Amino acid sequence: MLDPYRIREDFPILKRKINDYPLIYLDNAATTQKPRQVVDAIKHFYENCNANIHRAVYTLSQESSELYESAHEDIAKFINADGMEEIIFVRGTTEAVNLVAYAWGLHNLGKEDEVMVTLMEHHSNIVPWEALSKIKGFKVRYADVNDDGTLNYESLENAVSNKTKIVCLTHVSNVTGVINDVKNVTRIAHEHGALVLVDGAQSVPHLPVDVNDLDIDFLAFSGHKMLGPTGIGVLYGKREVLEEMEPFQSGGSMIKEVTFDTTTKRCLSSWNDLPWKFEAGTPNISGGVGLMAAVRYLKDVGMQNVKAHEKKLTDRALNRMQECEKIRIYGPKDAALKCGIIPFSVDGLSSHDVALFLDSYGVMIRSGFHCAQPLHEKFKLKSSARVSFYIYNTTEEIDRLVEVLKEIEQFQ
């Protein structure tokens, strides 16, 4: 079993005090803290191996290239991809979705086509498709969400048709923590010849994710939500799909050859092999090294243990928070249906008031729309407060959260 007290020793930031109170960090859905092992890996790279990759034969460049390629290989194994060729490093989930939209969608979607999205999506899995639809003329359709925040699968299945070219959905809602049945959605989509893009920003850090078992075509996720540094993320794509796609960006590294044709007076290019075809320019090498260290850390902890620990915390939080008379919890109340995310409100207070009050006691939570305004409109909310848990959170922190929430109620 996961031991959060031992794990906490790897996170120097958790020793901080805020307003003379011990730091309680409960905004892990936004970003996670970084263990010493990740910080040390990045430091070691810059102090010992820093050089550009795939451009030189000298020792530092060879070492840097090997580290960067190893990072791709480790992430491929972590999600059970068929090889590093299916792993593209990007800045984060947002860039990964945009890569699919513009490298695949721009060349494969027309006026008669449809893209299926759900109402629980993060804005990064909505806005790119709406923006592209203005260029290409296709229709974006939305699967509905039930009152408890779960996906309405009947709505989705009824909306998917032979016009649907891609189904885009989150694996885990970043607002409610609801875990969607991706395997079932993929089956529905593939029966109609549609591809499937999964936003794994809230699932890959918290659950065992096997892309081959899910049979999805694309998976996007961010490093900073899984102990890694900011500015690095991953797009997984099935090899056969990636090979048919055009590059997202052009320039150095993503080309195999550029020649000048004396007849046409033009330069002719041929694309590089996967995954480098989609990684133009000098990449975030240190970010890749840091993400590799984060993945190795999580592998040592065990993703089943991560999932079980978060369920334990979520169970306790749901039960304890319901002791509060003026707290309204949104989404499912069954921890088995979700990851460690709980949105809530306090009667008579805005979410920002709640967050500021908690902050005065050293408790860090998120407030606002959480980049998912359509779902908040579904719940008829102007905003919500949100707590989200990770491997270093403890039951004592949950109890302290509830103590402070009960103090907030005294001011109402």
Structure tokens of 1?
């079993």
Catalytic one of 168, 267, 324, 371: 371
Nearest to 8 by CA among 266, 354, 392: 392
From the number of C-beta atoms within 10 Å of its C-beta (0-12, 13-18, 19+), residue 359 rates as middle
Given a contact cutoff of 8 angstroms between Cβ atoms, the answer to whether 129 and 105 are in contact is yes
Task: Please say if 339 is a catalytic residue.
Answer: no
CA gap 81, 282 in Å, rounded: 24
Report how far residue 371's alpha carbon sits from residue 92's, in angstroms, rounded to the nearest whole number: 15
- Identity of the amino acid at 324: C
Question: Helices 285-301 and 59-78: crossing angle, nearest 10°?
Answer: 40
Alpha-carbon gap, residue 373 to 379, rounded angstroms: 10
Per-residue DSSP letter, 84: G
Classify residue 340 by its DSSP letter: S
Reported in sequence order, the residue ranges of 119-187 that DSSP labels E, i.e. its strands, are 139-143, 164-170
Q: Which of 144, 62, 100 is nearest to 236 (CA)?
A: 100
Centroid of chain to Cα 144: 21
d(CA 260, CA 267) in angstroms, rounded, equals 4
H helix or E strand, kind and range, residue 405: helix 395-410
Alpha helices in 146-191 (DSSP H): 153-159, 182-191
Catalytic site residues? Answer: 371
